């Protein structure tokens, strides 16, 4: 199994698709343990033991919300543990905030594109919750990364990836967090 450990808004969907092209005998299961499948996690975990030629991506949030002890089994099955990290944290937080904002206002989905700029209202309290959430996700990933021997580190900016066409106009600029994510993984 190939496991991609990452966080939201890191091009992980794109990266898993690329891994699948490089490993066509593997099944790309994506966010196999997404929080919307909580009641199915036990079954989904047993499926991984039945067929180990899979690519999955998992975020710390999936591990923390599951009723199952996923991590030991995932690490047991995984032949490759890839950590996909996005170093431009401010842009990642903005992307995450925009995705959540658009979901909340029922305008667009997380992976949708558009040509005409959308107006985004900055709710500073909610924005700070997004910053805190993603920062916590990275601390969890960093702890795991630093414990494992079998690991690979890939930065999103190293990928030759397709970029979304998603122009937005902020009513107020969100500012900067000044967090160096890369230093957590060196």
CATH for 18: 3.40.50
Q: Is the pLDDT of residue 112 over 80?
A: no
Tens digits of residue pLDDT in 39-86: 999 999 999 999 999 999 999 999 999 889 999 999 999 999 999 999
Which residue has better confidence, 134 or 105?
Answer: 134
Q: Is the pLDDT of residue 134 over 90?
A: yes
Q: How far apart are CA 35 and CA 64, in angstroms?
A: 9
Range of the domain at 44: 2-185
Q: How far apart are CA 55 and CA 16, in angstroms?
A: 7
- The number of folded domains in the chain is 1
Q: Is the pLDDT of residue 162 over 80?
A: no
Which residue has better confidence, 113 or 122?
Answer: 122
138-152: average pLDDT: 97
- Helices H / strands E in the chain, number of each: 6, 7
């Amino acid at each position: 199994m190939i496991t991609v450990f990452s966080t939201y808004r890191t091009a992980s969907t794109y990266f898993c698709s690329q891994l699948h092209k490089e490993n066509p005998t593997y099944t790309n299961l994506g966010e196999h343990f997404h929080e919307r499948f909580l009641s199915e996690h036990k079954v989904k975990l047993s499926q991984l033991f039945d067929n180990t030629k899979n690519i999955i991506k998992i975020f710390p949030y999936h591990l923390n919300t599951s009723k199952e002890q996923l991590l030991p089994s995932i690490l047991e099955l995984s032949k490759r543990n890839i950590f996909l990290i996005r170093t431009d944290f401010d842009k990642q937080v903005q992307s995450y905030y925009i995705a959540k904002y658009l979901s909340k206002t029922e305008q667009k989905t997380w992976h949708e594109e558009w040509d005409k700029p959308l107006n985004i209202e900055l709710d500073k309290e909610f924005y700070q919750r997004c910053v805190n959430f993603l920062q916590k996700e990275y601390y969890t990933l960093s702890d795991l990364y630093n414990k494992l021997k079998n690991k690979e580190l890939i930065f999103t900016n190293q990928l030759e990836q397709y970029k979304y066409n998603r122009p937005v106009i902020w009513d107020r600029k969100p500012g900067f967090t000044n967090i160096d994510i890369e230093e957590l993984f060196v």
